Structures are given as C-alpha cells and as structure tokens.
Amino acid sequence: MSNKTARTHNHVSNRAKIRDGGARKVVFRGLLDNPYRIQWPTVPFNVQSAILALTLATLDGVAEHQLKRKRKRQPKADQQQQQPQKKRLVDAPSETQSPGFNDAQTVAIDGSSASASLEEVSFERPIILQHLVIGINEVTKQLESQIRTKRLTVISTTSDPIQALHSCSLQVILVCRADINPPILIDHLPHLVAAYNSLQPQSPIKLVPLPVGAELLLSRAVGLRRAAVMGIDSEWPDLNAFMSSLETVPTLAATWLTSSVPHPKFVPTHIKHLRTSAPKDMKVEKQRRKEGKALKKETGSKKILEPR
C-alpha cells in the first residue's frame, strides 16, 4: 500500500441526483491507477537530516565566496567608468613632459593592474561550487540533456559526435520537497531520474528528498535567495564519500523503459481506492427505489389515460 492518504473531492457533479438526506457511510472502492507513475523515494527522517547536515558541511565557505565576489564587482564597475578618462590622460601627454615620465606612468598603471590580477588569482573558489547545479530549471535542463545524450549514444553508430556531447553528468539531486509549494513544480523529477537510470543502470542518479526547512538552510549556505533543488555532478572529488551516506536511499527506475531485459515482464496492476459513500441499510434503500419506480409508472399511466 502507498503511504499517501486518500484525496477527498468536495465538488458536486452536474449529473448528481438530489438525495433525500438519508443516513450514509464512508466506503472505499478499488480503481485502476496509472501504472507508469513514478513515486518519490521513501527516505526516513533521520536519514534526511543526516544527508542535510552533510550537505551543509560540504557547502561550507560557498556563501562567503559569493559575498566576496559580489563586493568585488562594485569597485570593478566604478573602475570601468573611470578607465577611459585615465587612458586619455596617459595617451596624450603634454609637450613639456619627458618621455621617461610617460614610461614611468605607464609602468605604474601596469603594476596596479598586475596586482589586481594577482588578487583575483589568490581569491580561491570552493571546489564544490564547480560541481553544483542549482535551481529547478537548471537541474531539469541538465537531466533532459543527459537523457538525450544517452539515447543518441544508443541510436548512433559513430563515436565522434557522441564524444562531444558527453559532459559531467549529475549523480545526486537534492530536493527540498517539503518546502516547495505547489508540489507540481517538481513532480517531473522522479520520472526524469527514472528514465535516465533505465538508460544508465551502471551509474544511476540518486534522488534525495530533504526535510522541512532545508531550502532556507541551503539557500543561506550557497548565498542565494532560493535553492529548492540542487544537483552534484560525477566529477566532484569527494563524491564517493558522499555517496556512502546515500546507500539506504532507493534508486528510481522505469522498468518499461529498460531495453536490455531478456524476458519481458508485465507491469503489475496498480489499485487505488476512491473514497465515496453508500447507504447504511441497503434493504431500506432498495425498497425506497422500488417504491419510487412504481410511483413513476403510476403517474406516467395516468397522464396517458387523461383526455386532452
């Protein structure tokens, strides 16, 4: 059985008959569900919290880097506005000035630019930042690109164009599922991950839902306003240590998309339950319907016999 609760629909159908207000009870009826629906992986709360804590420790220093980067952009913009005026002063010296003074001035300016470039080189970028994909749209684009690449690899026989398409692929996707409203914004992620895992079962992608409040913590850790979905690619040096904590997370797969299965298997029947109502006393309800039908027949025969 699924861990989802039954949905209650309160809207009234246009074809619904007016009931006499008799006593009714709640019943559940079995209906066929869509067999191609991919459910989110079930991860215990303590495992989610442990993965979140490990992710925050991994992102240590990213927010400070983003803040320093933002602060350095403002002086650069001011320098670019003043740079043309400085160039005019240097390139057009007066006749009374000696050539040696112009050379010294040029050397001084070049020295300042060299020191600025050294400053940029010394400003180290966190390694994890080079292997992150942040945002719902960006992660979706990357997943679609990976699926497209794998399909081209299977179809095409030439290796040169396929090699150009290969790039760093996502290996872990962290989703703040409990914080995203409406949830339909991320309902496509399990299907994309399952489609990719069916094409690439050797190195599947792990889809990890995070607990409530994870989006705020992740956004602060990366120095952004929103960070609902985050992907980590396969080229990250510490990926193996991180993947060891994801062993209990189920791997999603779409069995009907796997082309290498030697013996085809039927997709099992999926049953869902519809919450509705039924009369508590069926005998009384049948008798009431029988009397109603007899009354309709009697009134109908009277109308036929009446003269016009």
CATH of 45-61+126-257, one of 3.90.950.10, 3.30.1330.30, 3.40.50.1980, 2.30.29.30: 3.30.1330.30
**pLDDT in the model for residue 110:** 44
Spatial CB neighbours of 108, under 8 Å, sequence gap ≥ 6: none
Asked if residue 79 lies in contact with residue 116, where contact means CB atoms within 8 angstroms, the answer is no
| Three-class SS state of 33 | coil
- pTM reported for the whole predicted model: 0.59
Q: Which residues pair with 30 in a beta bridge?
A: 273
Q: From CA 183, how far away is CA 198, in angstroms rounded?
A: 24
Residues of the chain with pLDDT under 70: 1-21, 74-123, 152-167, 258-264, 301-308
**pLDDT in the model for residue 228:** 93
pLDDT, one tens digit per residue, over 168-226 is 789 999 999 999 999 999 999 999 999 999 888 888 999 999 999 999 999 999 888 88
The span from the first CA to the last CA of the chain, in angstroms, equals: 64
